[in-house]
A = this chain, B = another copy of it.
Amino acid sequence: MQLLDGKLLSEQIKTELAAEVEQIKAQGGKIPHLAAIIVGENAASQVYVASKIRSCEQVGFKSSLIRCEADITQEDLMDVVQKLNHDPDVDGFIVQLPLPKHIDEEAVTLGILPRKDVDGFHPVNFGRMAQGLPAFLPATPMGILEILRRYKIETSGKHCVVVGRSNIVGTPISILLSRKGYPGDCTVTLTHSRTKDLPGEVRRADIVVAAIGIPEFVKGDWVKEGAVVIDVGINRIPDESKKSGFRIAGDVDFESVAPHCSYITPVPGGVGLMTVAALMLNTLKACKGEIYGA
């Protein structure tokens, strides 16, 4: 069993990005600039956004953090989005989810210019991805592709079982892995809460992507010998022995699953860090106009 080391890979990617930023600087080009909007005080969101901003600093990107009060109106939030849409220095931006209940998340996502949508959540980017056109890929699925690519894991003709059908992970990764090319050309089964005999489906997989949001859901006896297991879950479990009062668990029961795997991502230190790295890669693409032209 080998760990798929998201920490190592994300550091590699950041080193590559930092080198590219140096080159851009030397040539007097535009420095990539990522902006993030955060609404309210959700603890997990604070952690994620802080990690994105820190990554920008590490690679030499410009970053902006726009903090909005939890009781901001839809209209005022849309104004913030519009301001970033029109700011020529901002190459890409994200609105950290989840948003407070009174905000229409869909309207916010639709308000972001597709050319600045580095999270890849806008339907234009989602549709282009699904149709195999150049697009900003959603960051988590893109991070998974980077893991497979950088560990040179064979995907063509492999059976991939995706557990969970969310718009941000399960559905897009199932589409991406079934496309032509590498990483891709998998036979993909998308499973979810309505699937009959989920363990039986997972047992058929050469590659398992667990993204159902239930801690330690996938068990050891669900996993075929030699399978590759990608754990997307980031769940907080109350744990009094920790100073924070919680520990982080994935969607995979690592202890029982790992012995059966050829490769497995740890949590933390796996997909989560790659999501941030993918966001950085998208920001560079946005700055260079790689998807929608300069």
Contact = CB atoms under 8 A, between A and B. Distances in A.
Interface of A: 106, 122-133, 135, 156-157, 159, 165, 167, 171-172, 174-175, 178-180, 185-192, 194-196, 201
Copies of the chain in the assembly: 2
Contact of A178 (B123, B124, B165): B165
A135 B110 CA distance: 14
A88 B252 CA distance: 54
Given A126-B131, A157-B196, A178 B187 contact: no
Contacts of A132: 167
A124 B189 CA distance: 25
A179 B165 contact: yes
Contact of A189 (B131, B133, B189): B189
Given A123-B128, A127-B130, 12 more contacts: A123-B123, A123-B124, A123-B130, A130-B130, A131-B167, A131-B171, A132-B167, A165-B179, A174-B190, A187-B190, A188-B189, A188-B190
Contacts of A174: 178, 190
Contacts of A129: 127
Contact of A194 (B122, B124, B135, B187): B187
A132 B165 CA distance: 11
Contacts of A201: 187
B157 A194 contact: yes
6 contacts: A126-B131, A130-B171, A157-B196, A174-B190, A187-B192, A187-B194
A130 B192 CA distance: 16
Contacts of A130: 123, 126-127, 130, 167, 171-172, 175
Contacts of A172: 130
A190 B180 CA distance: 12
Contacts of A171: 130-131, 175, 178
A169 to B, nearest CB: 13
Contacts of A188: 189-190
A157 B180 CA distance: 28
Contact of A187 (B127, B131, B133, B189): B189
Q: What 6 pairs across the A-B complex have the smallest Cβ distances?
A: A127-B127, A123-B127, A126-B127, A189-B189, A185-B194, A187-B195
Nearest to A177: B190
A120 B78 CA distance: 28
Contact of A123 (B131, B194, B196): B131
A196 B187 contact: yes
A201 B158 CA distance: 12
A227 B3 CA distance: 41
A157 B195 contact: yes
A196 to B, nearest CB: 5
